[in-house]
Amino acid sequence: MGSFNLKNNLVLSNVTVGTSVTGATGSHSFELGFNRKGKLRASASSFVSSDGKPTVAAFQFLPSVIAQNVTPQMMSDNDVRVIQFCKISYYSVSYAGRKDSDGMVDWVFRGPVLDKWHLDCLTNFSATSALNYPYYDIASTVRFESGYFPIVNDTPSVILDLDIRNSKTDRWNYLWSFSSKTEFVSYVVFIHKTGEREPLKGVRWSLDRSIDLKWSKETARVTSFRNNLGIVDKELVLKSGNELYDIMVNPGATPVINIESNNAISSLNNSPAIQYIEYNNWFPSVDADFWTV
């Protein structure tokens, strides 16, 4: 379906939802430091700067919305933006001590964060508020003649502590593995001058990744890394009554994933959104050479 008859007698003659996945084999880097200072940064893009920041977006959403019989004033009065959703189905982080008796720490998302659709919005630096709720970002939509051309560049990344204190053994434990599976929906929405929204069309995509580490002379090295980003549904059209469609029309207080997950991680062992377990010994799956001197 390329055309849409909207409210207020507006007609869209063509709506397309192109995507681009570039260099999505991913990358990883370490931020130096130790004992609660070191970080692992993993990016969904394989094109990153020296400090691990993406220089090319792993995923681009490139919709175009062409209006029919509109004046310049009508083009200015209305707008087109992108709303993005995110659903985490799995997210696990594990740490191991220098030796078996130093124990392990394992935590996973659950409850409020897991298996629920959240709005995916860019936030402020501290991830306490969305910059342009409920839309993905603050970038202005390009208008040319009778067309609207919003662009979304997204490169999901993760930053993890390299070490964590195991209170059960009173020993430092070090990052051993991370894995996650996340689904996204990017959707283009027409916004009338009254503020009323009409969802048009979108795409569904997913990101599945994992990373394993070993340590030598107090330095981490990656032993395996997987980053699979792919398009699940290249042309998604939702209808009224669908959960995501209804949120786009009236988002209410729909939570934002970056804010929810940041709140949970900030209190790892005391959050209803995280199952946090400390162990006295290694899992059997930890290799004997996980830590070497």
DSSP, residue by residue, 223-277: EEEEEEEEEEEEEE---BTBHHHHHHH--TTPPBHHHHHHHHHTTGGG-TTEEEE
First to last CA, the chain: 62
**C-alpha span between 207 and 249 (Å, rounded):** 26
- Quick one: pLDDT at residue 34? 47
**C-alpha span between 202 and 235 (Å, rounded):** 6
Given the DSSP bridges, would you call strands 219-236 and 163-166 parallel, antiparallel or unpaired? unpaired
The helix (H) or strand (E) run that includes residue 75 is: helix 72-77
pTM of the full structure: 0.94
The helix (H) or strand (E) run that includes residue 76 is: helix 72-77
**C-alpha span between 93 and 195 (Å, rounded):** 41
- Residues of the domain holding 10: 4-292
What is the chain's pLDDT, residue by residue, as a tens digit (293 residues)? 568 999 988 999 999 999 999 999 999 998 765 444 689 999 999 999 987 889 999 999 999 999 998 899 999 999 999 999 999 999 999 999 999 999 999 999 999 899 999 999 999 999 999 999 999 999 889 999 999 999 999 999 999 999 999 999 999 999 999 999 999 999 999 999 999 999 999 999 999 999 999 999 889 999 999 999 999 999 999 999 999 999 999 999 999 999 999 999 999 989 999 999 999 999 999 999 999 98
Domains in the chain, number: 1
